[in-house]
Amino acid sequence: MTRLGYGEQIRRWRVEKYKERDSLLNAPPSDVTVITAGSKAEGLTRSHESDLDSLFVFEGILCVEAGISLHTIPDGIGVYRMDTCAYSGHCRLLLERQARKHFKEIHTAQCDNGQGDILLSSSLFLNEMSAYISAHSTVESPERAGPSLPWSIGGEFHTDNVFALRCHCPSILQRWASRPRHWPSPVLVQKVVSLEANVTAVGFKESEYKHMEWRIGFNTGESELVNNLNDTQAKVYVMLKMIVKDVLRPPKKEITSYVMKNIVLWQAESNPQNKFYAQSFFHWLHDGLRALRTAIVTQQLSYYMIPERNLMAASGLTYRQQSQWVEVVTDMMAEGPRVILRLPKIRMAIVASPEPMLWYSMKRMELEMLWLEKMNRLITCLENGVLDKSDAILQEIGRRMVEVMVQIALRMMEEGCAVNDLTDIFDRMLK
């Protein structure tokens, strides 16, 4: 798995480069803070292997739990009170104080509930943001999913964009922090508690009031937790994600990689850390498959941060899918270590000759590291929407990238492969 791009070194490099990207994007004054989320923030996918998930958090607005005094919140910040009389992990937002800064998209999404309260509609907010993007962008906008507004550039570069509001919910985090556990450490627990929460514009699917509900999330905290998994735990997580994508292949996201993440986080919390080592990989993969099978059978899996929220609720899983996937997962558990042969990437790595595999792995890693450096350098060289192409560092990165791709093309031709396009090599190496 290390040679496929899931080793500790490249994982840490990715995490740092995406953090650096966020810092560069957020350096100029703005009404919105950009946060890389999902697998990119976790460093567990190659740069072109999956969509880039970004969280756009509005500044100047705060959602707070009941019991928090307005006097503790600086003037000028808009405040919404969280009404948690909704499905676990969700809330409705009641206006307590208007923000000094006027956000048209938020103001338009406010509704009178007929009882003198102003509520913020998640559905109207999402409609407003979708309209804003369409009016101010030339990118393609595929069908939205949940709170995400996907963008596609040239049919190749895909991003999932979620707009969010900051959320202060100490009681939820303290309940999480006070659980007895083997992991994370007390220091890491306190760091996660100190990181911000957010609410995103999506209600519980089966709720009568879903158009008014918002989902409570902890993206930065969850990324921090995943980044502190050890090498074995991280690779179990990657393998479980591959199983969902390549074996189960849910047509409508009835089971997602987010379910796999929660299985691994519960696994880490519930067991001593000294039990997670390289030789125990298949034990924990088997344990993860067992947890997945249980979640499918019972249609129950507690959200790691808010256990009262069931991640399998309203998943849309049919009885036929349930029966089929239980059978498939049971078969995989019976296969033992051979289960990994079901995964195309792993199977190809096993049958490949060691020397070429190692050579291509090293070139892939170098190419991805160069690309991540270029990604951030492009932001540095962008001023008032104009890119400074004369930048010496940017030119040197580009020169070396071409050099590496030419080396790959020459080797492929020596091995009898038809190669015509360096761009195609670049995309295939980083997918």
Average per-residue pLDDT for the chain: 93
DSSP string covering 188-250: HHHHHHHSPEEEES---TT-TTGGGEEEEE-HHHHHHHHHTS-HHHHHHHHHHHHHIIIII--
Distances (CA, A) of 215 to 14, 159, 188, 205: 28, 20, 24, 11
> CA 191 to CA 185: how far, in whole Å?
10
Residues ≥6 apart with Cβ < 8 Å to 425: 405, 408, 409, 412, 419
User: Six-digit token pair at 183?
Assistant: 């992991």
Which residue do the tokens 């990119």 mark? 40
Cβ burial 266-283 (10 Å sphere, 16+ → b, else e):
bbbeebeeeebeeeebee
Q: What are phi and psi of 388, to 5 degrees?
A: -85, 95
Fold of 233-351: Poly(a)-polymerase, middle domain (1.10.1410)
Fold of 31-228: Beta Polymerase; domain 2 (3.30.460)
- Give the pLDDT band of residue 157 (cuts 50, 70, 90): low
pTM, whole model, 2 decimals? Answer: 0.93
- Give the pLDDT band of residue 207 (cuts 50, 70, 90): very high
> CA 407 to CA 398: how far, in whole Å?
14
pLDDT reported for residue 349: 86
Distances (CA, A) of 392 to 251, 284, 309, 336, 378: 46, 47, 51, 52, 12
Whether the Cβ atoms of residue 343 and residue 243 lie closer than 8 Å to each other:
yes
Q: Is 316 exposed, middle or buried (0-12, 13-18, 19+ CB in 10 A)?
A: exposed
Structural domain boundaries in the chain: 31-228, 233-351, 353-430
Q: What are phi and psi of 102, to 5 degrees?
A: -90, 115
The answer, yes or no, to whether residue 143 has pLDDT greater than 80, is no
Distances (CA, A) of 163 to 87, 121, 252: 21, 13, 22
The tens digit of pLDDT for each residue in 169-188 reads 999 999 999 999 999 999 99
The answer, yes or no, to whether residue 118 has pLDDT greater than 80, is yes
pLDDT reported for residue 420: 75
Q: How many helices (H) and strands (E) does the chain have?
A: 15, 12
pLDDT reported for residue 267: 99
Q: What are phi and psi of 77, to 5 degrees?
A: -85, 125
The answer, yes or no, to whether residue 209 has pLDDT greater than 80, is yes
> CA 413 to CA 191: how far, in whole Å?
51
Closest CA to 317 of 308, 309, 326: 326
Distances (CA, A) of 126 to 52, 109, 112, 217, 323: 19, 9, 18, 17, 36
| Mean pLDDT, residues 243-269 | 96
Closest CA to 275 of 243, 236, 241: 236
Cis peptide before 74 (omega within 30 of 0): no
Helix, strand or coil, per DSSP, at residue 54: strand
pLDDT reported for residue 156: 57
Q: Is 113 exposed, middle or buried (0-12, 13-18, 19+ CB in 10 A)?
A: exposed
pLDDT reported for residue 185: 98
Cβ burial 421-430 (10 Å sphere, 16+ → b, else e):
eeeebbeebb
353 or 337: which carries more pLDDT confidence?
Answer: 337
The answer, yes or no, to whether residue 224 has pLDDT greater than 60, is yes
